[in-house]
Amino acid sequence: MKPTNAPLVEQRADPFAYKHTDGYYYFTGSVPTYDRIELRRSKTLAGLQDAETFDVWFKHETGPMSRHVWAPEIHYLDGKWYVYFAASEEEDIWKLRPYVLECTGQDPLNDEWIELGQMQAADGDEKSFIDFSLDATIFENQGKRYYCWAEKTGGQFAASNLYLAEMESPIKLKTVQFMLTTPDYDWERIGFWVNEGPAVIKNAGKIYISFSASATGACYCMGLMEADEDADLLDRNSWKKSRYPVLETNYEKGIYGPGHNCFTVAEDDVTPLCIYHARDYENAVGDPTVVPKSDTRPLEEIIADPLYDPNRHARVMEVKFDADGKPLFEFY
């Protein structure tokens, strides 16, 4: 396994790695141009860096799904492959909504993918997915499947909260949204008030949801929610939130803005791993070559925009646990 401070896959923010029953790791993430869904696979984690890439879907030219294709995740549900991702519109670049793709076959790299449209709220839920929504993940517990996502009510500059709901199907929710967490603490409010990028790991009878906080520069960091696996996960009293970040910038190691992680297992199928992104330097610099031609902002604004700095690399660390079974995130 590569050390924590070495990239696993370069220039792939919001990484997602899933080890399937065929023994392969399937990997995706946000490409720097934010214009497609890319997949790759490898028998080993290290092999993901140089694995062949497959562009399985491209953004539309206009309308829904035509800008800011962000944070894809690949899941295998009920015998089918799905990709969950967020995208906005060329005509309204912050109109982020969650969308779903389904693979028509069992080979996600080569078989055709079809669009299932926007993720659907539960019947009677008039709040979910009506505003800036992104970073969805999926997990199962006690025979139920859950959908967890970030949403801002009030546009791009509002607070980004995390919401949770039970799923009825791979494309629709069964219950109305439950607000899991809102940015309460100072470390969640640097630059922007943000909770986003949820990921789920289970251990010793508990469910842990990691999440990312603050703006996307060096202040980006991770917090942690926890609940008993037997609890009602849609009850506010079931969850406890970390008072301080569990992973943040480490100047000594040269790892800046760690966050938006996923969890997987090592090649031994036992050792839990955290796959996250971070930069090698503190001050992000936007790269004009990855910005869409329709973005007519002055050059100095693009350079100052950390979203267009392509060097958020996917990295890996082993997850260890404390005496109470809580996950520890430590650079080594």
Which residue reads 């938006």 in tokens?
A: 260
In a domain? residue 48? no
Measured distance CA(212)–CA(13) in Å, rounded: 13
Catalytic positions are 14, 196
Q: What is residue 126's predicted lDDT score, i.e. its pLDDT?
A: 93
Q: For residue 169, give its domain range.
A: 13-22+118-329
pLDDT at position 332 is 79
Residue 2: the pLDDT is 47
pLDDT (0 to 100) of residue 158 = 87
The angle subtended at Cα 26 by Cα 2 and Cα 122, nearest 5°, is 125
Best CA proximity match to 181, nearest among 142, 229, 213, 147: 213
Strand-pair partners of 277: 259, 314
Query: Distance between the two ends of the chain, CA-based, in angstroms?
Result: 12
> How many domains, in total, are found in the chain?
1
> Which helix or strand (DSSP H or E) is residue 299 part of?
helix 299-303
Q: Using only C-alpha atoms, what is the Rg of the chain? A: 18
Report the candidate in 264, 265, 247, 266 with the shortest Cα–Cα distance to residue 256. Answer: 247
> Is 157 domain-assigned?
yes
* Residue 57 in domain: no
33 assigned to some structural domain: no
What local confidence, expressed as pLDDT, does residue 303 receive? Answer: 94
Nearest by Cα to 153 from 177, 124, 172, 130:
130
Residue 223 sits in a domain of what CATH number?
A: 2.115.10.20
Q: In the prediction, which pLDDT does 83 show? A: 99
For residue 167, being part of any structural domain is answered with yes
pLDDT of residue 4: 57
Q: Is residue 54 part of a domain?
A: no
Strands 133-141 and 144-152: antiparallel
**Using an 8 Å Cβ cutoff, are 90 and 66 in contact?**
yes
Domain presence at residue 101: no
Q: H or E element: which one contains 303? A: helix 299-303
Q: Rounded to whole angstroms, what are the CA distances from 109 to 42, 57, 101, 268? A: 12, 11, 13, 24
pTM of the model: 0.97
pLDDT at 154: 80
Per-residue confidence (pLDDT) for residue 90, from 0 to 100 = 96
Is residue 178 included in any domain, yes or no?
yes
Positions of the chain with pLDDT lower than 50, given as ranges: 1-3
Q: Which residues pair with 99 in a beta bridge?
A: 85, 118
